[in-house]
């Protein structure tokens, strides 16, 4: 049985309404209105109630033209067809109504057959339009208009089937710390950025025939492209350039995970999982934001899952422990402080280094709890040393970028050192350079407050991220920490040395002390000494030590120093 539609008849003349009702009442349910305003009021109650409207043109209060204009401002009425009833041979008003959005017209006096036929036609047309709209909505992302997840996988399947021999790649892209952009600048800005990214992705796909693109969820976009190698790199570089040009006040860091499609029998969803595993890898690299899937990643994924399953219990059971790696003053070869580094004493797997689990915890957010634990353990140690009558050397702790987004960070840090009655200068804070670059203004504010509270700030991994040496003048840190490995890769030691030398000179000009970490060889130590670097850390001096070993080392030092004075701690740049 055919569905019974409801019509809205709009006319101020009773006689016209009666005639129309008589023609249509067998096939339709009927509602009536005396002018445009009444009609709009009825539609507002239930926008989807009417299958079509038959509209008189000349009416009091609101005529047919004004009604059509008002209707056009409501997108939800777009699909309700309007049949305008005009006096015969009134070509002008017919044309005017059609331009205003009427779908068709019927001349008065009414011919029953014509009225019924034209109504049936426009209703059928509107149903088709509705169907098209439904299909569109179900396949496209409402914000960006790109294909949504399901539709993208279908389009991808179609591309792969159509071109069985082309070297396709699946690219997954997202933005590092996108949720922060929403938090800091509001969802409206977040949406604007997503629209921009969608534009960049769409443009890239349009440049490559037989490709497709879509938005999978949130800030995750995908491209399926019939290329690999340099051609693919060019496409990704173009997207990177486009995104880099978007905002001047924050840094957009796209991360790409790429699967070179070799096994065509794989489900598209499974291919997507591979690209996702690859993209996680790209997040761990400073400069290289493109990572290609390799099968070992599946194994790693499994290991990550293990870490995530066990971390809560491990923290509760005290499986995370503090190791201390001494820092040395290379002028007299004496230890002058330490860095607290976490280790996981796993009941079955033994001692696990942080490289295995810290990146996982950074991704799932647990790192903030582990860091808080490490800071407290460090306070406990410092308290113990103070109680035993020695003036301890400062110990630095690592502060993750996630910690910096805690609005209570400064208060929490202060509460902690107060609880254990530790001078803040004894607890130094290592912040990785790339965290500064995420959002320099905000970091500036947090760092200033931490310094005002008495903490000493070290910029960890300096030179690894994006800051130019010039930017140093604006960054309020006390000490720069550089990694020998970043600066002197074994391939070109000489060049690394000259970079290190230049950086040291620059730091000197800015009155910033430097500590070089990762010093493994005597020659490196000699070189550092020769260029006037004062502080170093690395296996050449000592690996990270269990706390008891560190305590022994410091005791020996005390015995050695004839005056029995406490060690010379790492300086505080503000004293310069
Ligand atoms: P990092 O902060 O840059 O720490 C220095 C790393 O270099 C340490 O690795 C240290 O053991 C290692 N290292 C020291 N001397 C040498 C050397 O001569 N040669 C080489 N090749 N490496 C050396 P570790 O302990 O494995 O820690 C790795 C990273 O894990 C740390 O890098 C840090 O980013 C993170 N991490 C460690 N503990 C914590 C923590 O409590 N909280 C947070 N958020 N991250 C931590
Ligand atoms: Ca560190
Ligand atoms: Ca470091």
Beta bridge partners of 481: 515
Q: Specify the ligand 1 atom closest to the Cα of 341.
A: 38
Q: Is 220 helix (H, G, I), strand (E, B) or coil?
A: strand
Distance of CA 538 to the CA centre of its chain: 34
- pLDDT bin (cut points 50, 70, 90) of residue 575 is very low
Ligand closest in space to the Cα of 353: 1
Q: Do residues 328 and 515 make contact, with C-beta atoms less than 8 angstroms apart?
A: no
pLDDT surpasses 50 at 574: no
Distance of CA 373 to the CA centre of its chain: 27
**Residue whose C-alpha is closest to residue 204's, from 163, 248, 254:** 254
Question: Which protein residue's CA is at the shortest distance from atom 20 of ligand 1?
Answer: 518
Question: Among 337, 339, 358, 521, which residue has the most ligand 1 atoms within 8 Å of its CB, making it the best to mutate?
Answer: 358
Scan for tokens 């790693």, then name that residue. 300
Q: Do residues 479 and 570 make contact, with C-beta atoms less than 8 angstroms apart?
A: yes
Scan for tokens 């930017």, then name that residue. 471
Q: Do residues 570 and 513 make contact, with C-beta atoms less than 8 angstroms apart?
A: yes
Each residue's pLDDT tens digit, 344-387: 999 999 999 999 899 889 988 899 999 999 999 999 999 999 99
Measured distance CA(529)–CA(155) in Å, rounded: 61
Give residue 565's pLDDT.
47
Question: Among 319, 342, 354, which residue has the most ligand 1 atoms within 8 Å of its CB, making it the best to mutate?
Answer: 354
Measured distance CA(77)–CA(75) in Å, rounded: 5
Select the more confidently predicted residue: 495 or 237: 237
Mean pLDDT, range 474-503, rounded to an integer: 75
Question: Among 324, 353, 379, 517, which residue has the most ligand 1 atoms within 8 Å of its CB, making it the best to mutate?
Answer: 517
Each residue's pLDDT tens digit, 19-40: 999 999 999 999 999 999 999 9
Q: Specify the ligand 1 atom closest to the Cα of 342.
A: 38
Mean pLDDT, range 550-557, rounded to an integer: 94
Beta bridge partners of 341: 323
User: Ligand 1 centroid vs 344 CA: distance in angstroms?
Assistant: 13
Measured distance CA(374)–CA(21) in Å, rounded: 81
**Cα dist from 499 to 385, 477, 495, whole Å:** 39, 21, 6
Q: 43-57: string of b/e by CB count within 10 Å (b at 16+)?
A: beeeeeebbbbbbbb
Beta bridge partners of 174: 255
Q: Is 213 helix (H, G, I), strand (E, B) or coil?
A: strand
Residues 6+ apart with CB under 8 A from 192: none
- pLDDT bin (cut points 50, 70, 90) of residue 303 is confident
Beta bridge partners of 30: 7
Measured distance CA(167)–CA(174) in Å, rounded: 23
Q: Specify the ligand 1 atom closest to the Cα of 362.
A: 44
Beta bridge partners of 453: none
Each residue's pLDDT tens digit, 184-208: 888 899 999 999 999 999 999 999 9
Q: Do residues 242 and 217 make contact, with C-beta atoms less than 8 angstroms apart?
A: no
**Residue whose C-alpha is closest to residue 325's, from 559, 566, 536, 524:** 536
- List, chain by chain if needed, residues with CB within 6 Å of any ligand 1 atom: 325, 341-342, 353-355, 358, 367, 371, 374, 398, 400, 430, 460-461, 517-520, 538-539, 544
**Residue whose C-alpha is closest to residue 488's, from 430, 539, 527:** 527
Scan for tokens 């230049």, then name that residue. 502
Measured distance CA(59)–CA(38) in Å, rounded: 11
User: Ligand 1 centroid vs 92 CA: distance in angstroms?
Assistant: 81
Mean pLDDT, range 252-258, rounded to an integer: 92
Each residue's pLDDT tens digit, 209-228: 999 999 999 999 999 999 99
Each residue's pLDDT tens digit, 440-455: 778 888 999 999 999 9
pLDDT surpasses 80 at 490: no
Measured distance CA(443)–CA(436) in Å, rounded: 6
Give the helix, strand, coil percentages of the chain, each rounded to 5. Answer: 50, 20, 30
User: Ligand 3 centroid vs 364 CA: distance in angstroms?
Assistant: 21
Give residue 511's pLDDT.
86
Q: Do residues 399 and 342 make contact, with C-beta atoms less than 8 angstroms apart?
A: no
Question: Among 307, 324, 341, 371, which residue has the most ligand 1 atoms within 8 Å of its CB, making it the best to mutate?
Answer: 341
pLDDT surpasses 70 at 564: no
């Amino acid at each position: 049985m055919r569905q019974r539609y409801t019509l809205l008849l709009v006319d101020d003349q009773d006689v016209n309404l009666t005639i129309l009702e008589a023609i249509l009442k067998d096939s339709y349910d009927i509602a009536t209105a005396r002018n445009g305003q009444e009609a709009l009021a009825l539609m507002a109650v239930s926008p989807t109630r009417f299958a079509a409207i038959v509209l008189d043109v000349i009416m009091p209060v609101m005529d047919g033209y004004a009604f059509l204009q008002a209707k056009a401002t409501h997108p939800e009425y777009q699909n309700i067809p309007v049949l305008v009833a005009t006096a015969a041979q009134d070509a002008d008003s017919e044309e005017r109504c059609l331009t205003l959005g009427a779908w068709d017209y019927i001349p008065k006096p009414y011919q029953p057959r014509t009225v019924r036929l034209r109504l049936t036609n426009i209703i059928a047309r509107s149903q088709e339009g509705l169907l098209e709209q439904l299909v569109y909505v179900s396949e496209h992302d409402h914000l960006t208009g790109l294909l949504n997840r399901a539709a993208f996988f279908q389009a991808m399947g179609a591309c792969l089937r159509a071109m069985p021999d082309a070297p396709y790649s699946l690219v997954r892209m997202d933005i590092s710390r996108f949720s922060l952009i929403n938090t800091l600048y509001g969802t409206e800005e977040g949406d604007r950025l997503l629209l921009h990214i969608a534009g960049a992705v769409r443009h890239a796909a349009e440049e490559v025939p037989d490709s497709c693109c879509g938005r999978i969820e949130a800030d995750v976009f995908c491209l399926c492209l019939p290329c690999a190698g340099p051609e693919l790199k060019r496409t990704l570089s173009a997207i990177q350039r486009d995104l880099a040009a978007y905002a001047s006040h924050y840094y957009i860091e796209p991360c790409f995970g790429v699967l070179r499609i070799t096994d065509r029998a794989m489900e598209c969803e499974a291919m997507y999982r591979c690209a996702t595993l690859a993209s996680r890898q790209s997040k761990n690299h400073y400069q290289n934001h493109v990572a290609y899937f390799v099968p070992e990643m599946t194994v790693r994924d499994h290991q990550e899952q293990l870490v995530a399953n066990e971390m809560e219990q491990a923290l509760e059971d005290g499986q995370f422990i503090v190791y201390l790696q001494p820092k040395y003053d290379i002028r007299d070869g004496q230890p002058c402080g330490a860095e607290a580094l976490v280790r996981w004493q796993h009941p079955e797997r033994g001692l696990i280094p942080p490289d295995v689990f810290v990146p996982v915890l950074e991704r799932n957010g647990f790192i903030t709890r582990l860091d808080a634990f490490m800071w407290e353990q460090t306070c406990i140690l410092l308290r113990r040393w103070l109680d035993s009558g020695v003036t301890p050397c400062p110990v630095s702790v690592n502060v993750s970028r996630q910690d910096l987004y805690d609005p209570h960070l400064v208060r929490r840090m202060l509460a902690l050192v107060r609880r254990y009655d530790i001078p803040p200068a004894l607890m130094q804070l290592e912040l990785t350079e790339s965290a500064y670059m995420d959002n320099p203004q905000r970091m500036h504010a947090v760092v200033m407050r931490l310094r005002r509270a008495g903490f000493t700030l070290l910029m960890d991994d300096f030179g690894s991220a994006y800051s130019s040496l010039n930017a140093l003048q604006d960054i309020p840190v006390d000490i720069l920490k550089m990694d020998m490995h970043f600066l002197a890769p074994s391939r070109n030691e000489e060049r690394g040395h000259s970079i290190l030398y230049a950086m040291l000179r620059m730091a000197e000009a800015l009155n910033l002390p430097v500590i070089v970490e990762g010093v493994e060889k005597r020659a490196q130590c000699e070189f550092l000494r020769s260029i006037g670097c004062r502080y170093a850390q690395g296996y050449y001096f000592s690996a990270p030590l269990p706390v008891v070993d560190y305590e022994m080392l410091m005791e020996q030092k005390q015995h050695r120093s004839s005056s029995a004075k406490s060690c010379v701690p790492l300086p505080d740049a503000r004293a310069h």
